[in-house]
């Protein structure tokens, strides 16, 4: 399992660049570049900019998506070991038509967030590859939900309330995924590792400390 995430939607103009942008900007500070984030569209016309609406929405989250250019998903985009996070189940089917070997590591974004939010899945993983494997096993074990819950709604040409729902679905899924990643020991920063180790040592000393009355008895 590699350390690259490819986010996929239809045109690569709205959902996938926004989700990939959120992941990239937040992960840069927590994983120091150890997870690469890219995006593509199953029916994208290469070289287009992100939609104006998503440029505006991105800015509210501190994202500058002006440099984004659309890319069509094809076999050359995907590599062995990639984790692919799709906006919809329909995109997942396209990915698997291209690369059936990626079956264990292709999810919808919301599906992946739901699976890794399970305590047992988190406990089984110490790094990104382990997290993806644990999520895949959980899916095979039948930890599923109503199918429509796992898609990120497409807001193109829809009223404002649909755009608001898209924003909610996308940001909640990303927030969940980022929270789980932040807890992976193999991806934490050196400072976080030292802090966690110090906390572990303190907990150990607390659990194994000899009560003062017993210390006094030993000296006596």
- Residues 29-43 have a mean pLDDT of 82
Task: Return the pLDDT at 34.
Answer: 76
3-state SS, residue 98: helix
User: How many Å apart are CA 220 and CA 215, to the nearest integer?
Assistant: 9
What the block records as the tokens of 97 is 């038509």
Which is nearest to 41 in space by CA: 19, 78, 74, 10?
A: 10
CA distance 191 to 188: 8
At 82, phi and psi to the nearest 5? -65, 150
Above pLDDT 90, what percent of the chain? 71
Gap between the Cα atoms of 207 and 17, Å rounded: 48
Q: Which of 179, 169, 178 is nearest to 57 (CA)?
A: 169
Cα 198 to chain centroid distance, Å, stands at: 28
SS percent in the chain: helix, strand, coil, step 5: 55, 10, 35
Contact 177, 188 (CB under 8 A): no
Phi, psi for 37 (deg, rounded to 5): -125, 130
Mean pLDDT of 38-61: 97
- So what's the pLDDT on residue 100? 96
Tens of pLDDT, residues 74-115: 988 999 999 999 999 999 999 999 999 999 999 999 999 999
% of the chain exceeding 70 in pLDDT: 78
pTM over cut 0.85:
no
pLDDT at site 165: 97
- pLDDT score for 27: 84
Report the distance separating Cα 85 and Cα 108, nearest Å.
Answer: 5
Over residues 200-212, mean pLDDT: 39
pLDDT per residue over 51-71, tens digit each?
Answer: 999 999 999 999 999 999 999
pLDDT exceeds cutoff 60 at 173: yes
């Amino acid at each position: 399992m590699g350390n690259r995430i490819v986010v996929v939607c239809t045109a690569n103009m709205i959902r996938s660049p926004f989700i990939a942008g959120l992941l990239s900007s937040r992960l840069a500070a927590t994983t120091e570049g150890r997870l690469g984030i890219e995006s593509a569209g199953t029916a994208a016309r290469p070289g287009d900019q992100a939609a104006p609406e998503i440029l505006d929405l991105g800015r509210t989250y501190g994202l500058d998506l002006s440099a984004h250019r659309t890319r069509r998903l094809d076999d050359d985009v995907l590599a062995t070991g990639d984790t692919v996070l799709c906006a919809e189940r329909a995109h997942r089917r396209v990915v698997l038509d291209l690369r059936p070997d990626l079956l264990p590591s292709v999810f919808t974004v919301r599906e992946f967030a739901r699976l890794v939010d399970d305590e047992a899945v988190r406990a089984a993983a110490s790094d990104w590859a382990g997290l993806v494997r644990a999520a895949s096993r959980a899916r095979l074990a039948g930890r599923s939900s109503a199918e429509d819950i796992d898609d990120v709604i497409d807001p193109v040409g829809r009223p404002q309330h649909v755009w608001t729902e898209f924003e909610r679905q996308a940001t909640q899924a990303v927030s969940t995924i980022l929270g789980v990643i932040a807890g992976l020991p193999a991806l934490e920063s050196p400072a976080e590792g030292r802090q966690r180790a110090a906390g572990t040592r303190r907990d150990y000393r607390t659990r194994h400390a000899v009560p003062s009355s017993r210390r006094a008895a030993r000296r006596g």
